Structure 1
Amino acid sequence: MAPHLKEEEHLFGNGSRDCQDDVWIDLKIEAEQMSEERSPDFELLGRELLPEFLLFSILKWNTLEECLATHLSQKLGWSAAPAERWNSVLLTAFREGKSANGEPLSELIRKDLVVVKEQDPACPSLAHALLHYKGYQGLEVYRAANWLWRKGLKSLACIFQSRVSEVFGLDIHPAAQLGWGIMIDHGTGVVIGETAVVGNGCTLLHGVTLGGTGKEAGDRHPKLGCDVLVGAGASILGNVKIGTGAKIGAAAVVLTDIPAHCTAVGCPAKVGNTHVTVPNLGWWAKLNWPSRPGRTLCKVFSKL
């Protein structure tokens, strides 16, 4: 990795992002390395395809915002709404947008990317995650849609939601509240309802549903604390609370609150073991956990 900024400095910078940052520098280095892949048995195979793909997708751009907006717009565009229209909205969102908590989207797209690389053992690089991981791609389009929704552009936000469902196979309502450092692994079949809340550092595997019971209106979807792991095919239904650090087993059906640091399995889900989740200090450090109490906790955890 490229040298990181001092802890007193802001990791991601401000403004139009004309200045490069560590995440973007690392990503471009990785793309350059990918473009140099060769095989003696297939000397000509992909000689033009791979370098040209990487040039257009990553290497020709000056910022991550431009790169990601272009890459996503190429996937989302179609004849009635060409890629350049999507690009314009996405680029504005990534440059100027903020989350409901006031965090710049320019920071969130980086934090999410770093988490995928650090948490998924199948992910070899930041560039690989950006180019190929539809869970990450769909999440970042959701972030733009959520910004539009809160700006009062609800019809446009719903177009984003619908197109993400068609292209990436995951359905996140633009009004849902998702924190930073989220990993949606694989993405296929993930559904997150309108009033759902997903805390920082959560991991959702494929087929996860954060939905309603069909018996309630208004605030009717789950609320996940930080660092919750939800296994493949699990359904969490209704306005229930999942405590920080909890783990939900694959195919579980959760209809009641789950305490922090507990594991819930089965249908209906029942609480099993209690555990203590120790943060993965590698990716927390890369995300520059901002508060001094947070840095102190990192030092404490490192001694456990």
Structure 2
Amino acid sequence: MSEQVAAFAKADPVWRHIRSDAEDVVVREPAMAGFLSATVLDQPSLEDALAERVAARIADPMIGASAVRHAFRDALDDDPHLADAFRIDLVAVVDRDAVCDRLLEPLMYFKGFHALAAHRVAHSLWTRGRRDFALMMQAATSAALQVDIHPAVPMGRGIFIDHATGVVIGATATLGDDVSLLQGVTLGGTGKEGGDRHPKIGSGVLVGAGAKILGNFEIGHCSRVAAGSVVLSAVPPNSTVAGVPARIVGSAGCPEPSRSMDQILATLDG
């Protein structure tokens, strides 16, 4: 390990754990040594490793891998706090995914985390006026990972997109901190009018698999949207809604639905 890489690993416990896990995998699975060396062990930092992995996944004839890596570096140079968001998102996966117990796994394999990282970079580009490149990143991410998030969408930290296939988030949606979305979720508008037309998701919200939230209204903090629900109006904080159309069926059931990931409605009050 070079002195520079050793210094980064020592200063960054998340990166240190990832490198240690990668080294263990190389011992157990020698056939993966080249892949893990190029993506993790030869990289000086988590940011570089993430840029390398996302570039490998979404690069296509429209947008080359080197352009994706450069976009990551440009976004991080513009906003160093983006590095914190990447780490908090990564830890959120391990905290909330019952089958994930290593930080290495989402970095290397989970398309929800990769799509979220790509979106954060695209959003940085969008807010700095580089809208065409941001839209190109969105298109490449959607094609490669089946996650379609408009680059205008601002997101808090600690976002978890589980399984991720079929997630669609419209341009005027917003997400607070510590939100969890499962596969097939749509945060959409209605009709074709312009302006502010998409949902505002509060912090700590859990949106279950296949749920559709359609329109410009708030989903209050620490609420649950049950799987398969169609939500057409505002949801108060700390509530659970279910059904088509969704209605309030009880309290959220716990202080932090997005972290408990509990989609079972059997214990609801009322």
Give yes or no for TM over 0.5. Answer: yes
Q: How far does the alpha carbon of each residue in 1:258-286 deviate from its partner, in whole angstroms, 9 at most, with x for none?
A: 11111000000010111353359x99xxx
Give, as a single letter, the amino acid of the residue that structure 2 aligns with 1:129: P
Counterpart pick for 2:53 among 60, 68, 71: 71
Aligned counterpart, 1:239: 216
Across the aligned residues of Structure 1 and Structure 2, the Cα RMSD in angstroms comes to 1.9
| 1:21 matched to 2:2 | no
Q: Distance in 2 between matches of 1:235 and 1:275?
A: 18
In 1, the alpha carbon distance for the partners of 2:113 and 2:154 equals: 16
- 2:227 corresponding residue in structure 1: 250
Answer whether contact 1:225 1:245 (CA < 8 A) is retained. yes
Deviation at 1:18, TM superposition (A): 8.8
Paired with 1:78 and 1:174, the residues of 2 have a C-alpha distance of: 18
Which aligned pairs between 1:52-131 and structure 2 lie closer than 5 A? 52-93=34-75, 95-98=76-79, 104-131=81-108
8 A Cα contact 1:157 1:174, kept in partner: yes
Residue 80 of structure 1 and its aligned partner are, at CA, apart by 4.7
1:132 aligns with 2:97: no
Question: Would the aligned equivalents of 1:188 and 1:207 in 2 still touch at CA under 8 Å?
Answer: yes
Correspondence for 2:24: 33
Structure 1 residues 20-68: Cα deviation after superposition (integer angstroms, max 9, x where no partner): 311111111111112222xxxxxxxx53x21111111111111111111
Question: Compared with structure 1, are the counterparts of its residues 84 and 125 closer, same or farther at alpha carbon in structure 2 (3 Å cutoff)?
Answer: same
Q: Is the 8 A contact 2:63 2:136 kept in 1?
A: no
Runs of at least 5 residues in structure 2 that lack an aligned partner in the other structure:
1-7, 261-270
Counterpart CA distance in 1 for 2:126 and 2:164 is 22
Could you tell me the TM-score, scaled by structure 2's length? Answer: 0.88
Is the counterpart of residue 51 in structure 1 residue 33 in structure 2? yes
SS at match of 2:94: helix
Tell me by how many angstroms 1:83 deviates.
1.3
Question: Is the CA contact (8 Å cut-off) linking 2:10 and 2:16 kept in structure 1?
Answer: no
Q: Find the residue that maps to 2:152 and give its secondary structure.
A: coil
Q: Quote the Cα distance in structure 2 between the aligned partners of 1:172 and 1:241.
A: 18
Unaligned residue ranges in structure 1 (runs of 5+): 1-16, 38-45, 284-304
SS at match of 2:240: strand
Show CA shifts across 1:112-150 (max 9, x none). 000001110111311011111100000000000000001
- The correspondence for 2:139, drawn from 150, 162, 167, is 162
Quick one: structure 1 residues 97 and 134, their matched pair in 2 at CA, closer, same or farther if it must change by over 3 Å? farther
Q: Given the alignment, which residue of 115, 122, 129 partners 1:152? A: 129
The question of 1:143 aligning with 2:82 is answered: no
Residue identity in the other structure for 1:60: D
Contact in 2 for aligned 1:145/1:157 (Cα 8 Å): yes
Confirm whether residue 204 of structure 1 aligns to residue 186 of structure 2.
no
> What do the CA deviations read for 1:142-196 (whole angstroms, capped 9, x no partner)?
0000000010000110001000000110000000111100000011000000000
User: Paired residue for 1:259?
Assistant: 236
Aligned to 2:196, the other structure's residue is in SS state coil
The letter of the residue matching 1:224 is I
**The residue matched to 1:260 in structure 2 has which SS?**
coil
Q: Describe the SS at the equivalent of 2:250.
A: strand
Q: 1:72 to 1:226 in 2, by over 3 A?
A: same
What amino acid maps onto 2:255 in structure 1?
A: V
